[in-house]
Amino acid sequence: MPGAVVTDGIAAPDNAPDGEVIISYTPVAPLAVTTTSLPAATLGAPYSAALAATGGVPPYTWSVTSGQLPTGLSLDAATGVISGTPAVLGTSGLTVGVTDSETPPMVASQTQSITAGGCAATITGKHPGPLTVGSGVTCIAGASISGPVTIPAGATVAVSQSTLGGPLTSAGAGTMSVCASSIAGPISVTGSTGFVLIGDAGDDGAPGCGPDTISGPVTLSGNTAGVQLGGNIIRGPVSLTSNSGDPGNGVEANHVSGPLACSGNTPPPSDDSQPNTVSGPAGGQCSGLA
């Protein structure tokens, strides 16, 4: 078959002039995100959802181009899988982007939202006297509680926009968050097996989250899935001891009326380039965070 040249798997016909190249071009389909909605998440429970796309030239690279994932969730850029354990009650709106491997690359995006909830019990309004929450997921939202709040082992609790008239004590709980709230007493959280979030300095995009006002010491000890203390006004000393786990330990943008002491935390606490204001000494692993 003289003169025939194969290009893209197609051969020139026998009667093609010698040396002629016949090029077959198959256009690449436009890149598009095909995931139009994401499943709801349950506070304190593992979450996993995969984003999908068609067209373009795989492999794809995924990113969040605007908005934020709920605190506790992250996006794998290579696989498009959103996973983690959500810590904060509410709905997060975001835009996901995908880029293909062409040169120059195609780009596509799609708005999404994820609602984190699953509250087995929701406490709102005025609640007199001490409160001990039950097992499972408890959401304290817009509540005014006049006495101490106790969180037992295994419980998951999300506190938001609430006023607690006494100490907040937790021992061996699961995931826990306290956001945009006022606590008239110390906070003590020990031995949690889930992520512990006390206030949000604004870099995690937690829906409805924000800094807390705490009229007493804060003690975080022996928690094993990471702790974050962010953006709070704390009228008392702060102590972080022997906390560990993913996503790490953060102490950032707090105003502390007392010393800040940290020891035995793995990894050592970080301020994520948001220094704390501390009226007392900042010692141990937190010596460089004020």
Q: Are residues 216 and 254 in the same domain?
A: yes
Rounded Cα distance, 238 and 260, in Å = 5
Q: Are residues 174 and 278 in the same domain?
A: yes
Let me know the angle formed at the C-alpha of 89 by 98 and 61, rounded to the nearest 5 degrees: 10
| pLDDT, position 7 | 36
Residue 17 belongs to some domain of the structure:
no
Domain final position from 116, 151, 185: 116
Classify burial at 65, counting beta carbons within 10 Å of its beta carbon; exposed 0-12, middle 13-18, buried 19 or more.
Answer: middle
Residue 4 belongs to some domain of the structure:
no
Residue 258 belongs to some domain of the structure:
yes
- Alpha-carbon distance values, 73 to 195, 246, 257 (Å): 11, 12, 32
Q: Are residues 96 and 156 in the same domain?
A: no
Q: Are residues 88 and 150 in the same domain?
A: no
| pLDDT, position 202 | 74
| pLDDT, position 289 | 95
Count up the domains in the chain and report the number. 2
Short-list 114, 98, 104, 124, CA closest to 33 = 98
Q: Are residues 157 and 236 in the same domain?
A: yes
HSE, CB side, 13 Å, CA atoms: give it for residue 41: 29
Quick check: 175 and 194 in contact, CB under 8 A? yes
| pLDDT, position 19 | 59
Residue 1 belongs to some domain of the structure:
no
Residue 224 belongs to some domain of the structure:
yes
Domain final position from 50, 83, 116: 116
Residue 3 belongs to some domain of the structure:
no
Question: Mean pLDDT for each 10-residue chunk of the chain (290 residues)?
Answer: 38 53 73 97 97 97 95 96 95 96 97 96 93 94 95 96 96 96 97 96 70 97 97 97 95 97 98 95 95
Domain of 212? 121-284
Quick check: 287 and 251 in contact, CB under 8 A? no
CATH of the domain at 109: 2.60.40.10
Quick check: 153 and 170 in contact, CB under 8 A? no
Let me know the angle formed at the C-alpha of 262 by 270 and 266, rounded to the nearest 5 degrees: 60
Pair of tokens at residue 74:
């992250």
Residue 28 belongs to some domain of the structure:
no
- Enter the pTM of the model: 0.86
Rounded Cα distance, 3 and 169, in Å = 84
Q: Are residues 64 and 89 in the same domain?
A: yes
Q: Are residues 42 and 174 in the same domain?
A: no
- The stretches of 88-226 forming alpha helices (DSSP H) are none
Rounded Cα distance, 120 and 110, in Å = 32
Domain final position from 92, 116, 140: 116
What is the CB neighbour count within 10 angstroms for residue 222?
Answer: 15
